[in-house]
Structure 1
Amino acid sequence: MDNGDASGERRLPRVLGIVALDWAVLGVTVWLVPGVTADSGWTVLLAALVLGVVAAVLRPLLVRLLTWVGWAGVALGWLLSQALLLYLALSVTPGMHLDGFWPVFWASWLYGTLVSVVLWFVTAGDLSVLARHLTRLNRRHRRAAAPTAVPGVVVVQVDGLSAPLTGWAVRCGNLPTLGRWLRSGSHTLDEWHAQLPATTPASQAGLLHGGSDHVPAFRWYEKEAGRLVVTNRPHDSAMVEARMSDGRGLLADGGVSVSNVFSGDAPTSLLTMSTAGRRGGPGRPARYLTTYLLDPFGLTHALVLTVGEIVKELHQARRQRLRDVEPRIPRTAAYVMLRGATNVLLRHLNLSIVAEHMMRGAPVVFCDFVDYDEIAHHAGPARPESLAALEGIDNVLFTLERVAAAAPRPYRFVVLSDHGQSQGPTFLQRYGTGLEDLVRRLTAVHDSDVVATGAEEHRGRADTLRAGITGRVPAGAETGPEPAPAARVVVVASGNLGMVYLADRPGRLTMEEIDEAHPRLLKGLTGHAGIGWVMVRTRAHGPVVLGPEGRHYLTGGGVEGVDPLGPFGPYAADDLRRHDGLAHVGDLVINSAWDATTDEVTAFEELTGSHGGLGGWQNRPVLIRPTDWPVDGTLVGADAVHRQLLAWLGRETAVSLP
């Protein structure tokens, strides 16, 4: 038997199964919804067949029409398209009786929900179903693409994943796809060092642009302009990208940026913070997202699973409370909704976009999957729900591997992270006061402006998702809260890294000037049990790192007393020397204490898993690469990984694609 006959034999049971599923679900829908009736079960079967034909013919036309109309049309089409298709199919089917359009409208939502639930039960564990669907959905792009033997590259960033945790999860069998790649020898796992600050914006500035030195923290204060910069606000991320971009970023040559902070100069940029505020900007999101919005396996299916994710989160949070798991933080209603959005809706949307551009033959695609990082912040990096999110991303890799087999060019996969995460109780939980309150008490400045909530990180992701779907930046997302003009002290936090600015004094202040203005501040900080070290500049010796029992002079390398950087690893001094030279660094740079026994830090934000400073696994991200792509030396910093990626892409002569 030839391959065509074999393929036909495999396809026939699937088609019959789909018909039986649609028949059963449509029958239940007709039975439950008043105003929609059928003469018999055979009438329902005929209606299901008609609906399949109508949808196959008209849905592509609807996608083109609604894309042309714009985002309002896309949103309206998503709400009404299934109802219109169902209404048309039932209207032309003999033996079906309808009491107007609105009963059919509600029937279409019930039908879509039931199909999604049944599909989840039927296909649970069969990852190839989604791969086949994405391949069929994008076959027109495959036909239009010019085949080539030149490999493309898909870079999947698993936000927040540390190398030690990756190795452990592979050994435990939690990541079967990655485990298969590593055991087969096709890929190799490396660790690289994330320099201070260990945050997504800083690492992505390096990975995508080679410009990590433009980002001193997740959020910072610029004295000259008197403004706070938060890197996942569209306006701020666009400003930072404009400062560092030379037009030759990692994705400049026909690449695609998906769900990143910065675009890498990609001509197609979707769900990316730095381009989210551009109306009609790169990639024209409507053209790529309309298909997903109107696909029965797309948004409606994802929304049903999102509800399931929310229920699961409520159960897991309650279980943590009942078992008195420590450390833990309250998991607010806002986070519950956000987890559903990032762990299901955004992941599915990212997967759909990446698969489409692989079928178009894009030379390089870079996508950041944030769901693990989001859950690990609230539950802890190695907690069961966080590991389950990792398994979901491993499933994404399996699906993309199957899609690659049908793409117009071969693809090589690189899996990396931007930083790791370190666990621990928060500074507020452990010591009963926040960093901002501690600084306020030590400076006796009661009108301090304090920016340390950390809400922008999570809101920023939601705002970018909304902007990508609607084409509009939500109100308040373009700009955020700014320090009051009269503020004398500004405190910002990025995980367990904090910075303090004496905002009423220009320039970077020295230790002597700070002692003169606030005599208790430095002694109070370095004497606090929750502070590991404080970096400040001196008039005579340049930058110095102060600890509770000693100091480390960064310029000359001398140490007095107990070295405050001793517990923080071999890269700590170099990281701080580099960080001291960045623009807009605080007058004081503060890192929390790190407990070597428990490997815990104390975040200045209300997060169980955190990153941004030094200590624990947060500075140990992972790089999983094709084994035949060599690494040129030790990878220290995201800029070094950027140069290595360029080499693998053939943009440098040191290494070329095989």
Structure 2
Amino acid sequence: MSPDDPHRPQPGWWSVTLSDVGDALLGLVTTALGLGVAIAVVDGVSASNPGSVLLAALAVAVGDLVLRPPLRLLARVGGAMGALVAGLAAQVLVAWLALTLLPGLHVTNPWAVVQVLVIAAVVMAVGRWVWGASDSDYVVGDVLRRARAHARRAGEGGGAVPDERPPGLLVVQLDGVAAPVLAQAVDAGLAPTMARWVADGTHVVREWWAQAPSTTPASQAGLLHGAADAICSFRWWDREVGRLVVTNHPEDAALVERRLSDGRGLLADGGAAVATMFSGDAERQHLVMSQARRGIGPGTSYLRFFASPFVLARAVTLTVGEMVKELYQGRRQRVRDVRPRVPRRGWYVVLRGVTNVLLRDLATSVVAEQLVRGAPVVFVDLVDYDEIAHHAGPTRPESMRALEGLDRVLDTLVRVAAAAPRDYRVVVLSDHGQSLGATFEQVAGRPLVDVVRGHMAGPGVDAVQASTDDEEWGPLNAFLSSTAARRGDERSRVLGPQGRDRRDGRDGDAPGPGADGAVSPDVAVAGSGNLGMVWFPRAGRRLVLEEVEERWPGLVRGLAGTPGIGLVVVDTAARGLAAVGPGGVAWLERTGGGPAIDGVDPVARYGGQAADDLRRLGRLDHVGDLVVLSDVSADGHVHAFEGQVGSHGGLGGAQNRAVLLHPADLALDDDLLADVEGRRMPVGADRVHEQLLRWATGLGLRRTATRRAADDEAEAAGEPLAGGLAAGGPAAGGPAARGPVAGEPAAGERAP
């Protein structure tokens, strides 16, 4: 937010503490109500009068404050899981003391204390939801109160937020949101926060082109590291390690980051990464997939989430509610015979609840902590919309409603940023969009691996297929792997299809012929949305068309002619990359002479940018011997090679039209823009990364080469660093250099 943002609280606002008092009273009332209901229904606990219940509620609130300092110490030692255990134990202890020591209350069964705590917490969550306090403000309520108090102490005279605060940059990724979908949400009144920014002129909404592979791993490799070319798909056969690599597996994400990181990512120089796939070389890393084996960050960052009875119970209660809502919405699609659709049962129901409520609230709380602590650049990925849209469809009602929840998260974070020690500019972007369509298996009658095997004229062909139902397991598996890291266990905890399908138990960076030394399969097939890839691992290198035809005559033509497939990209010895369609061939590189198109151009239906994207994709490392794109209809419908009705990964429809909503005073540099179908926009995540870097550097949030050299010399000589960042950043002793909020770990502290 800029200083002249009309929605930024004006000086003097923070000196009024009625909101703090009101929130405290609301908390006291809901706690008393929860305890009263719990005492009434639990055997073994009784109260002689309402005053005793109110006194117990007050004791719980006081006990929570008294135990915070020792809990912080325990959280520092025990990390995030230590914070969870300590927080739950503290809740039980406070409730037990209140129910056994206060007059008018009687407990005959120790187990009844736990029952009272659980029931009271649920009643509190429901009560505050009825009151209207269901947004994320209450997830970070304690952070907001501390931020307000800190701002009052930092203000001059009247206790207002200081007018001269060093800048900061908050980047919020709305996973999978296409620019047209956001426009629909704004028109429908589902995104009032973002709509207000644009209407008031503080922000400008633009598009950027998410190149194929239009997947989260590729886009985040570009956005965070400027290295999108390091990733050819969501899943691929890696000839170096001799197996399929799945980027949302913590071990594989770590392997990929080691390849693409140069130490100077977007979040270097003190930035914070929250709930991302890669770290961006952040100093503060929380819920980062590639770093899961090192833990999910300092326990103190999670303490207030885990230790608060209301916050944790609210998250758990709404998680269960989200599961019930998914069951209802899935049944509604079946009853109404909505088409296209996919099954929405099984583990996805649980994963939707955990990912879209519990982990989102946790991520929101951690981001708020980083803002209050003054991290110069903060990047967070919110996956709610993407998870639902995969199974429901990009513009179905439940998917659009997910955007409403994300917009409330943005509003909450802006409120926190208004009291932070930095003047944060907020950039909202997506990593790609999604396209609607029936699955390939629904169209062709069988999965891609069976089609490939059939055209290889050998039913006994040894084939391995990457699981197509593992994407939603990623955040949960990252969290589980981090808990193993706290015990010194270096193995990732992998649930779901990817856990069953992993072909070896090695760490993932030692080359080998295959699973446990076994011979590699004849063919490996993987799908990423409507982008499919086929490898022939036993060849040891990428085959060209002439070699493929010699070994499996008719394979490429057969694939290109299969219903639901639009084209097959293959390298040729004679003329370079070719896109083979059912009625013609497009020569993408035009080497060796001859016409650019033979017959009907199979690329034209994917848009004017498609040929450039396919040329680039066809030359990436680890790319398949054959690259397959599903067909695309005139209205942009595609066919995912996964069990998804909303998909992304290839080309066609809105999946490549990503969002870039940025402050109006941070302009896009024209040299980073290109023409895409008559519009100027950044093409590729690497260009967006470069723009974010330029903004961060212009705001003084990145060390210059001269400053880095000076700091390196000082460190080598054992001298203190100069402090602060590049020109315009916080100087030593300035507002952002006063240290963290009392009781917080020092900047850069990580879980072991």
After superposition, the Cα gap between the structure-2 partners of 1:565 and 1:189, relative to the gap in structure 1 and judged at 3 Å, is: same
Larger mean CA deviation between 447-456 and 316-325 belongs to 447-456
Name the Cα RMSD after superposition.
2.6
After superposition, the Cα gap between the structure-2 partners of 1:428 and 1:66, relative to the gap in structure 1 and judged at 3 Å, is: same
Please give the per-residue CA displacement for 1:6-49, whole angstroms capped at 9, x wherever unaligned: 83555545444433332222221111111111221222222222
The match for 2:198 is 182
Contact 1:647 1:656 in 2 (8 A): no
After superposition, the Cα gap between the structure-2 partners of 1:290 and 1:611, relative to the gap in structure 1 and judged at 3 Å, is: same
The match for 1:647 is 694
Gaps of 5+ in 2: 1-10, 156-161, 504-513, 674-681, 705-725, 730-752
Q: Secondary structure at the match of 2:404?
A: helix
Please give the per-residue CA displacement for 1:580-624, whole angstroms capped at 9, x wherever unaligned: 22111111000000011x421011111010111111001110100
Contact 2:79 2:297 in 1 (8 A): no
Quote the sequence identity (%).
Answer: 48
The match for 1:155 is 171
Task: Report the CA distance between 1:643 and its aligned residue.
Answer: 0.4
The match for 2:83 is 74
The match for 2:641 is 604
Separation in 1, partners of 2:382, 2:142: 21
The match for 1:540 is 574
Contact 2:45 2:105 in 1 (8 A): yes
* 2:400 aligns with one of 364, 387, 391: 387
**Aligned amino acid, residue 318 of structure 1:** R
Task: Report the CA distance between 1:351 and its aligned residue.
Answer: 0.5
With normalisation by structure 1, the TM-score equals 0.94
Separation in 2, partners of 1:123, 1:63: 31
Please give the per-residue CA displacement for 1:431-463, whole angstroms capped at 9, x wherever unaligned: 211111100111134233232432332222220
Q: Secondary structure at the match of 2:16?
A: helix
Contact 2:209 2:684 in 1 (8 A): yes
Task: Report the CA distance between 1:382 and its aligned residue.
Answer: 0.6
Separation in 2, partners of 1:361, 1:347: 21
Please give the per-residue CA displacement for 1:552-583, whole angstroms capped at 9, x wherever unaligned: 11112811111111011111111111112211
Please give the per-residue CA displacement for 1:411-448, whole angstroms capped at 9, x wherever unaligned: 11000000000010101112211111100111134233
After superposition, the Cα gap between the structure-2 partners of 1:127 and 1:272, relative to the gap in structure 1 and judged at 3 Å, is: closer
After superposition, the Cα gap between the structure-2 partners of 1:369 and 1:5, relative to the gap in structure 1 and judged at 3 Å, is: closer
The match for 2:434 is 421
State how 1:207-356 maps to structure 2 within 5 Å. Answer: 207-278=223-294, 284-356=297-369
The match for 2:59 is 50
Contact 1:78 1:293 in 2 (8 A): yes
The match for 2:750 is none
**Aligned amino acid, residue 315 of structure 2:** A
Separation in 1, partners of 2:268, 2:15: 43
Separation in 2, partners of 1:144, 1:258: 28
For the pair 1:449 / 2:476, whether they are aligned, the reply is no
The match for 1:475 is 493
After superposition, the Cα gap between the structure-2 partners of 1:456 and 1:131, relative to the gap in structure 1 and judged at 3 Å, is: closer
State how 1:435-584 maps to structure 2 within 5 Å. Answer: 435-445=448-458, 446-468=460-482, 471=485, 474-476=492-494, 481-482=502-503, 485-556=519-590, 558-584=596-622
Separation in 1, partners of 2:628, 2:695: 37
Task: Report the CA distance between 1:498 and its aligned residue.
Answer: 0.7
For the pair 1:101 / 2:110, whether they are aligned, the reply is yes
**Aligned amino acid, residue 243 of structure 2:** R
For the pair 1:396 / 2:409, whether they are aligned, the reply is yes
Separation in 2, partners of 1:13, 1:213: 52
Separation in 2, partners of 1:657, 1:611: 40
The match for 1:619 is 656
Contact 2:560 2:568 in 1 (8 A): yes
Q: Secondary structure at the match of 1:594?
A: coil
For the pair 1:637 / 2:684, whether they are aligned, the reply is yes
After superposition, the Cα gap between the structure-2 partners of 1:204 and 1:241, relative to the gap in structure 1 and judged at 3 Å, is: same
After superposition, the Cα gap between the structure-2 partners of 1:81 and 1:652, relative to the gap in structure 1 and judged at 3 Å, is: closer
Please give the per-residue CA displacement for 1:628-654, whole angstroms capped at 9, x wherever unaligned: 11112320000000000001101599x
Contact 2:74 2:83 in 1 (8 A): no
Q: Secondary structure at the match of 1:196?
A: coil
Separation in 2, partners of 1:359, 1:141: 9
Task: Report the CA distance between 1:118 and its aligned residue.
Answer: 0.7
Contact 2:32 2:53 in 1 (8 A): yes
Separation in 1, partners of 2:20, 2:311: 22
Separation in 2, partners of 1:4, 1:656: 31
* 2:444 aligns with one of 394, 412, 431: 431
After superposition, the Cα gap between the structure-2 partners of 1:406 and 1:543, relative to the gap in structure 1 and judged at 3 Å, is: same
Task: Report the CA distance between 1:5 and its aligned residue.
Answer: 11
Please give the per-residue CA displacement for 1:240-269, whole angstroms capped at 9, x wherever unaligned: 111111100000010000111110000111
Contact 1:436 1:452 in 2 (8 A): no
The match for 1:589 is 627
After superposition, the Cα gap between the structure-2 partners of 1:52 and 1:225, relative to the gap in structure 1 and judged at 3 Å, is: closer
Task: Report the CA distance between 1:135 and its aligned residue.
Answer: 0.8
Task: Report the CA distance between 1:96 and its aligned residue.
Answer: 1.3
Contact 2:461 2:522 in 1 (8 A): yes
Larger mean CA deviation between 172-181 and 225-234 belongs to 225-234
The match for 1:117 is 126
Please give the per-residue CA displacement for 1:306-342, whole angstroms capped at 9, x wherever unaligned: 0111111111011000000001100122100010011
Larger mean CA deviation between 64-73 and 380-389 belongs to 64-73
Task: Report the CA distance between 1:285 and its aligned residue.
Answer: 3.6
Task: Report the CA distance between 1:388 and its aligned residue.
Answer: 1.0
With normalisation by structure 2, the TM-score equals 0.82
